[in-house]
């Protein structure tokens, strides 16, 4: 027991301070380590709670784990240039330590080396450091900034976790991996620059960084773990580079302020809950390589107004766009084969949607509570239906094309109408006093948009008008006239649904 020991000066011949040599010398207030010492053992001065200051001379090349663990009175540390590694838990729970200068020959800061140094406000990381270990500076909640020098290649798991006062961060180009939770819970972090050689960003790496406003994920990143930016509630803009192939589970969940997300062209999977509750997201650009959209990926994106699902997508997961209450326009490209349950559940602003011919199944409650929907257009045969695809309060009409099969009236609880508009070759067809015109005929009460272009090789279709077919003498008809047809050398016309 050394509880009465107050001062230590090592002799000139001493080279090794052994493991636990002065462990729990709680009254020790002065330590002078001689310049002949090369090794400080594990827990050599751990729990020396009254020790205020220590200088580790240049002669020390090896310092063991927990060397100064729980030295709660320590306020000053000088680390010499001989040391190459700061061991695990070396200064863990040195609560009063305000600053530390790490020697120029240190190459590795091991796990939890400065964890829970709550008073630490200044850290100088030596230029030769290549590795910052797991939880190395975790819970250093007074640290306002940190410079990660060029040469660092990896930032470990939870390395700066819960450094709640950290405001700015630059990750140099030498870093290739950022560990799970590396900067998680850094709630004051407002800006981050990710180096151009980072290939891996770990799960929850920046989760709960509430003040982070913008982030660019460089093209070098090929792997990003789940929850990487979870609950970054101040994040307004995200640029996802072209190296990433998958957006993981809950990647940007609860990023309430996010208004825009540019998704890289090589992304092929958008994971479950990826943008869940991004309530200010107004548009989602889904690139052509995406094959699957996970369940509830955009659930509760209440400001999302339009979405285009490319032809590369074959699977849309359960509730993917559920409760997107501002969604008015959905384009589902040919290629999608299955639309799972609740994909558009409670999209109350959605008025119409076109289902491509490749879709063979609509899951349970796909359009349930889409109370303003008036029309659903199908390009192919009637798909199989899950339970309650349409709720009873939907007053929509289902439109299907000639030559398709398995349609009944009603279908899924909704009335069905054959969508068969065509022109009549009667006396109304051709040039008349008011321009070029023709009679459109088809099923009763069809609403038809007429468009025109001047070049079929590179067509740019312009909407001319919307026709509603009223009941005529023997058919449902509407007359169309184009008074501007003489302004063009040629003009072509087509019909489409609203």
Per run of 10 residues, the mean pLDDT along the chain (length 498 residues) is: 72 88 93 93 96 94 95 93 94 95 91 97 91 97 92 96 93 95 97 93 97 95 97 95 96 96 92 97 89 96 94 93 95 91 96 94 96 94 96 92 96 93 84 83 86 92 84 67 87 88
User: To the nearest 10°, the Cα dihedral for 223, 228, 232, 236?
Assistant: 10
Cα(219)–Cα(235) distance, rounded to whole angstroms? 20
- The reported pLDDT for the residue numbered 479 is 85
Cα(213)–Cα(232) distance, rounded to whole angstroms? 8
In angstroms, the Cα distances linking 319 to 286, 364, 376, 473 are: 17, 10, 19, 46
Q: What angle do CA 21, 22, 25 make, to 5 degrees?
A: 160
- The reported pLDDT for the residue numbered 435 is 83
Q: Where are the domains of the chain?
A: 422-496
The radius of gyration computed from the CA coordinates of the chain, to the nearest angstrom, equals: 34
- The reported pLDDT for the residue numbered 478 is 84
Quote the strand ranges of 138-274, DSSP E.
Answer: 154-155, 168-170, 177-178, 191-193, 200-201, 214-217, 223-224, 237-240, 246-247, 260-262, 269-270
Q: Which two tokens stand for residue 70?
A: 């729980």
Cα(211)–Cα(219) distance, rounded to whole angstroms? 24
Contact 407, 379 (CB under 8 A): no
Cα(280)–Cα(424) distance, rounded to whole angstroms? 48
Per the listing, tokens 């695809």 go with 389
DSSP letter (8 states) at residue 382: P
Map residue 487 onto helix, strand or coil: helix
- The reported pLDDT for the residue numbered 433 is 74
Contact 300, 347 (CB under 8 A): no
Map residue 486 onto helix, strand or coil: helix
User: To the nearest 10°, the Cα dihedral for 151, 154, 158, 163?
Assistant: 20
- 290 Cα distance to chain centroid: 15
pTM of the model: 0.88
- The reported pLDDT for the residue numbered 473 is 43
Per the listing, tokens 């312009």 go with 462
If one counts every other C-beta atom within 10 angstroms of the C-beta of residue 350, the result is: 24
């Amino acid at each position: 027991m050394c509880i009465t020991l107050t001062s230590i000066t090592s002799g000139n011949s001493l080279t090794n301070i052994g493991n636990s040599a002065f462990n729990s010398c709680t009254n020790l207030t002065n330590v002078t380590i001689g310049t002949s010492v090369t090794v400080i053992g594990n827990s050599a001065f751990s729990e020396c709670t009254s020790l205020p200051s220590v200088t580790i001379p240049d002669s020390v090349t090896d310092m063991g784990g927990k060397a100064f663990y729980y030295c709660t009175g320590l306020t000053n540390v000088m680390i010499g240039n001989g040391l190459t590694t700061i061991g695990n838990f070396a200064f863990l729970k040195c609560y009063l330590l305000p600053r530390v200068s790490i020697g120029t020959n240190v190459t590795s800061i091991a796990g939890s080396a400065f964890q829970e140094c709550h008073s630490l406000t200044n850290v100088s990381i030596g230029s030769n450091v290549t590795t910052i270990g797991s939880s190395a500076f975790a819970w250093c909640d007074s640290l306002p900034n940190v410079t990660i020098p060029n040469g660092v290649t990896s930032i470990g798991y939870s390395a700066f976790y819960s450094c709640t006062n950290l405001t700015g961060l630059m990750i140099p180009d030498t870093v290739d991996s950022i560990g799970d939770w590396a900067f998680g819970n850094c709630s004051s972090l407002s800006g981050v620059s990710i180096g151009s050689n980072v290939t891996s960003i770990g799960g929850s790496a920046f989760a709960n960084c509430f003040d982070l406003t913008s982030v660019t994920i460089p093209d070098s990143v090929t792997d990003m773990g789940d929850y990487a930016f979870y609950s970054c509630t101040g994040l307004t803009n995200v640029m996802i580079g072209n190296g990433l192939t998958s957006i993981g589970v809950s990647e940007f969940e609860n990023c309430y302020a996010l208004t825009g997300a540019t998704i890289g062209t090589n992304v092929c999977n958008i994971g479950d809950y990826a943008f869940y509750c991004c309530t200010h997201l107004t548009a989602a650009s889904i690139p052509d390589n995406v094959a699957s959209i996970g369940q509830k990926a955009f659930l509760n994106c209440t400001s999302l107004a339009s979405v285009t699902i490319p032809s590369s997508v074959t699977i849309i997961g359960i509730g993917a766009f559920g409760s997107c209450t501002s969604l008015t326009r959905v384009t589902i490209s040919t290629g999608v084969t299955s639309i799972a349950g609740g994909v558009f559940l409670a999209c109350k602003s959605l008025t119409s949607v076109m289902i491509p011919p490749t879709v063979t199944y609509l899951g349970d409650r796909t359009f349930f509570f889409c109370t303003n929907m008036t029309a659903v257009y199908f390009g192919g045969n009637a798909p199989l239906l899950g339970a309650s695809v349409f709720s009873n309060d939907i007053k929509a009409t289902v439109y299907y094309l000639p030559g398709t099969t398995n349609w009944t009236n009603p279908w899924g609880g909704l009335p069905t109408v054959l969508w068969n508009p065509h022109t009549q070759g009667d006396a109304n067809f051709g040039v008349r006093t008011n321009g070029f015109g023709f009679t459109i005929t088809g099923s009763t009460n069809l609403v038809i948009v007429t468009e025109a272009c001047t070049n079929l090789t590179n067509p740019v279709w312009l909407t001319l008008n919307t026709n509603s077919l009223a009941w005529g003498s023997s058919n449902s008809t509407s007359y169309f006239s184009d008074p501007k047809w003489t302004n063009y050398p040629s003009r072509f016309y087509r019909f489409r649904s609203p």
